[in-house]
Amino acid sequence: MKLAVEIRKALVSPGRTFRLEASFATSGPLVVIFGHSGSGKSVTMQAIAGLLRPDAGSIVLNDRVLFDAGNGVNVPARDRRIGYVFQDYALFPHLTVAANVGFGLSGNGTRLRELLETFALVELADSFPAQLSGGQRQRVALARALAPGPELLLLDEPFAALDPVLRDRMRAELRRTVEATGTPMLLITHDPADADYFRGQMITFDAGRVVATDDLNSPGAWELARERLGAATGRL
Amino acid sequence: MTEPILTTLLLTGKIAGVAVAIALIAGVGAAWFMHRLQFPGRSLVDAVLTLPMVLPPTVLGYYLLTLLGRRSPLGQWLEEVLGIRLIFTWQGAVIAAAIVAFPLVYQGTRAAFQGVDRQLEDAARVLGSGELRVFARVTVPLAWPGILAGTMLAFARAMGEFGATLMVAGSLPGRTQTLALAIYDSVQAGKDEEALLLVGITSLACVVILVLAARLLRVRHP
């Protein structure tokens, strides 16, 4: 997976203008975008998915130009083949688990059954999202996002809504899933523990800019990044 | 009133039913348009679409007479080319009722669309859905209780329409005389018992509609 992002976006709200100037390139397969809330991570992710149009710049995924302000290219979200797991999962409340997972599939019952089995959702197929626990909801959101076979999976703070015990379990489950399907993923978090667990490439955002890019797999890199994070967050 | 009450009831149901069907299609369409698009003068368009709710019905009736009457170009065209006469016909009463009922569907639907979590619509888009599918599979099903409640209020309004209908369609027993018009005639003619019966039927129908609409608005998914 190759992803090159170079975008600018000004978001104007009463009394405040937020300027995003994000620029990074990554080759996955696992990228952690780290930063405080309000640092521009979510806006960047929405721009990659096609849910928000940048003012300028370009987004290129695997040599496919998704957005290029200079040439007027803006591939609509539905054609980008990017999976998205929303922070609170955004499951369709009026549809059953099976209908949620199958929403992005075109009439292939076999694939749906496979997905429900892979994500241990067979028993829950006829339940509605409101009847599920936090962990079950996340499994539905993951299955739904992976169903159309996306080239890249985006996850917006996937563990923020879970309690700490469940969080550890879901991290492991997510890693297993992604390794099993081979889908590259890009994960947003403000929790250094996520960056530590996934140890991929880490892109750090601050005040609308990318301030650091680290490969956490190389020896000593996590310790260095951790020191910097510690200095920045005062938490680790 | 010389027509039996049943004829009046059926005619009222027919006029209000057809009028609400028109108002439903136009109202949901207009609400979607306003929900999805940003353009200059949007609030002015919104005001014009809501106008029939606040204008006196006689003003609407006057506009319709001027627009659709036999001396207007549109009225002449309708009669000569399509053979449709709207003045003093039940079809004219339908047009009048549809226009007064339209803002109730439109406003109810717009509020319901605004209540739909935008993230759910976005979720459908990233899953490969075009705008029409997002509308049909996500927006409308989630907004449905609000749309239906607005439609029921529109039906009550269409059923009770008096002023505009009287001006456009008159009050011809058995042809254009609906419940509301029949009540006026009965009272004028001193037929108090008949008036009481018609008033009772109308009140009962309106109470049923309001109770149903309130119940629909409380519906939530499990």
Residue A66 near residue A75 (C-beta atoms within 8 A) = yes
Which residue among A83, A91, A128 sits closest to B222, beta carbon to beta carbon? A128
Sequence length of chain B is 222
What does the pLDDT read at residue B139? 95
Least confident of A16-20, A161-165, B129-133, B142-146: A161-165
Q: DSSP code of B56?
A: -
Between chains, do A94 and B141 touch, taking CB under 8 Å as contact? yes
Q: What is the architecture of the domain spanning B5-218?
A: Orthogonal Bundle (1.10)
Distances in whole angstroms, Cα of residue B194 to Cα of each of A114, B67, B174, B185 = 68, 35, 16, 10
Q: Digits of tens for pLDDT over chain B (222 positions)?
A: 456 888 888 999 999 999 999 999 999 999 999 998 888 888 999 999 999 999 999 999 999 999 988 788 888 888 888 888 888 899 999 999 999 999 999 999 999 999 999 999 999 999 999 999 999 999 999 999 889 989 999 999 999 899 999 998 988 888 889 999 999 999 999 999 999 999 999 899 889 888 888 887 776 554
Average pLDDT over residues A138-150: 93
What does the pLDDT read at residue B1? 46
Show the tokens assigned to A61: 């995924």
- The residue among A61, A88, A94 with the most chain B CBs within 10 A of its CB, best to mutate, is A94
Contact list, A51 vs chain B (CB under 8 Å): 122, 125-126
**C-alpha to C-alpha distance for B187 and B165, rounded to whole angstroms:** 18
Closest Cα to residue A146, out of A195, A180, A169, A95?
A180
Contact list, B124 vs chain A (CB under 8 Å): 92, 103
Please state, for a pLDDT cut of 90, what percent of chain A lies above it.
57
Neighbours of B209 (CB within 10 A): 19
Amino acid at B64: L
What does the pLDDT read at residue A231? 61
Q: What ranges make up the beta strands (E) of chain A? A: 3-13, 16-26, 30-34, 56-61, 64-68, 73-74, 82-85, 152-156, 185-189, 201-206, 209-215
Neighbours of B21 (CB within 10 A): 14
Let me know if A214 is exposed, middle or buried by CB neighbors in 10 A (0-12, 13-18, 19+): buried
Residue B126 near residue A80 (C-beta atoms within 8 A) = yes
**C-alpha to C-alpha distance for B148 and A213, rounded to whole angstroms:** 53
Distances in whole angstroms, Cα of residue A229 to Cα of each of A1, A171, A191, B171 = 27, 21, 10, 80
Residue A206 near residue A176 (C-beta atoms within 8 A) = no
Residue B201 near residue B6 (C-beta atoms within 8 A) = no
**C-alpha to C-alpha distance for A141 and A163, rounded to whole angstroms:** 17
Amino acid at A73: V
Average pLDDT over residues A224-231: 71
What does the pLDDT read at residue B18? 96
Q: Please tell me which residue of chain A has the smallest CA distance to B222.
A: A130
Question: Tens digits of per-residue pLDDT, A32-70?
Answer: 999 888 889 999 999 999 999 999 999 999 989 999 999
- Shortest CA gap A70–chain B (Å): 24
What does the pLDDT read at residue B100? 94
What does the pLDDT read at residue A77? 95
Within 8 A by CB and 6+ apart from A127, the residues are A96, A97
Place A236 in a pLDDT band, splitting at 50, 70 and 90.
very low
Question: Tens digits of per-residue pLDDT, A86-131?
Answer: 998 999 999 999 999 999 998 768 999 999 998 889 999 999 999 9
